[in-house]
Amino acid sequence: MVQILDGKAVAKALREQLTTELAASGLKPTLAVVFDPADDGSRLYVGMKQKAAAKVGIETRDIAVSADATTESVEKIVAKLNQDASVSGILIQAPLPKEVDDAAIFAKVAPEKDVDGLGVTNQGRLFANEAGNYPVAATPKGVMTLLNYYDIDPRGKRAVVVGRSQLFGRPMAALLLNADATVTVAHRYTKEETLNNLLAEADIIVVGVGIPGFIKASQIKEGAVVIDVGMNLVDGKACGDVEAAAADKAGWLTPVPGGVGPMTIATLLESTMEAALEQAK
Ligand SMILES: Nc1nc(=O)c2c([nH]1)NC[C@@H]1CN(c3ccc(C(=O)N[C@@H](CCC(=O)O)C(=O)O)cc3)C=[N+]21
């Protein structure tokens, strides 16, 4: 029988812990969210973040970027937020309008306000497995929190990460490597036969490619830990990248909705609180 990694419940517990810690600190952090209001997903997620933030005692400031924005115009917005002492954290919600180079914008966020850990400074720290507390991208960090909550230790395990984005795959692979797993990253140029061989041997599979049903039950090892980072809308309903039948073969599985998504949001709030605590020192 598959066991469910209940992201919804673990995220709730994390948010409750943050609420208590924030109240005790007396701080009221502010998270600035830069986003494209023309993107349906972004509007939805920004709304969810705003609601969750308010509940734990974090203020949000949503900054909508216009359709004709350029890399330069968004860089100016970020420069202002970097200077603004009332802003504790800055989230650049990807994707920004098409003329904007998202990675160039991530790189401009001041490292101490880079709560999604997507700038080169914080990604470099992660890649180097630097000791200490620095922000790490919310989705992969949330996956690690979830694994830890269920006492799933990556040490010595074979992990396959499918996807290599700056937002998910790269930091996910680094976190698993830092947790002593043997990590392989598969991506769009990985041959099907190679992927099948990797998946057949994987103890932990983490997939985020944005293709419904991309990972089939037949591809996974009996008892594997399967983490579904996919967030797709099919007939108006959220579904992941792993086909439903995988539940008959996996040992552990994250549902969509109710798995990685809520963990992402709670982790972003955690990182925002930590940034504000650090700035108050
Ligand atoms: N810089 C940046 N960081 C991000 O973390 C980031 C981003 N850009 N761009 C867009 C994606 C998407 N994302 C989600 C977060 C939560 C849910 C979530 O909580 N989903 C619900 C379901 C929602 C529904 O039912 O539609 C769930 O899984 O239970 C989904 C998607 C963060 N992203």
Global ipTM: 0.95
Of 231, 234, 242, 256, the residue with max ligand 1 atoms within 8 A of its CB, to mutate for a pocket test, comes to 231
Asked whether residue 47 falls in the same domain as residue 103, the answer is: yes
- DSSP secondary structure, 164-215, as one string: --TTTHHHHHHHHHHTT-EEEEE-TTS-HHHHHHHHHH-SEEEE-SS-TT-B
- The closest residue, in CA terms, to atom 9 on ligand 1 is 94
Q: CATH code at 168?
A: 3.40.50.720
Asked whether residue 164 falls in the same domain as residue 223, the answer is: yes
What is the set of active-site residues? 49, 93, 116
Tell whether 218 is in a known binding site: no
Asked whether residue 104 falls in the same domain as residue 149, the answer is: no
- Give yes or no for a contact between 108 and 79, defined as CB atoms under 8 angstroms apart: yes
Q: CATH code at 109?
A: 3.40.50.10860
C-alpha of residue 269 to centroid of ligand 1, in Å? 13
Q: Which residues lie with the beta carbon below 6 Å from any ligand 1 atom? A: 41, 45, 48, 91-94, 116, 138-139, 167, 231, 238, 256-258, 261-262, 264-265
Asked whether residue 144 falls in the same domain as residue 244, the answer is: yes
- Give yes or no for a contact between 167 and 140, defined as CB atoms under 8 angstroms apart: no
- The whole domain housing 216 covers 138-261
Over residues 203-217, the pLDDT tens digits come to 999 999 999 999 999
Asked whether residue 148 falls in the same domain as residue 221, the answer is: yes
- Give yes or no for a contact between 171 and 137, defined as CB atoms under 8 angstroms apart: yes
The structural domain count of the chain equals 2
Is 129 inside a domain boundary? no
Is 73 inside a domain boundary? yes
In which residue ranges of the chain is pLDDT below 50? Answer: none
Over residues 61-94, the pLDDT tens digits come to 999 999 999 999 999 999 999 999 999 999 999 9
Q: What is the pTM of this model?
A: 0.97
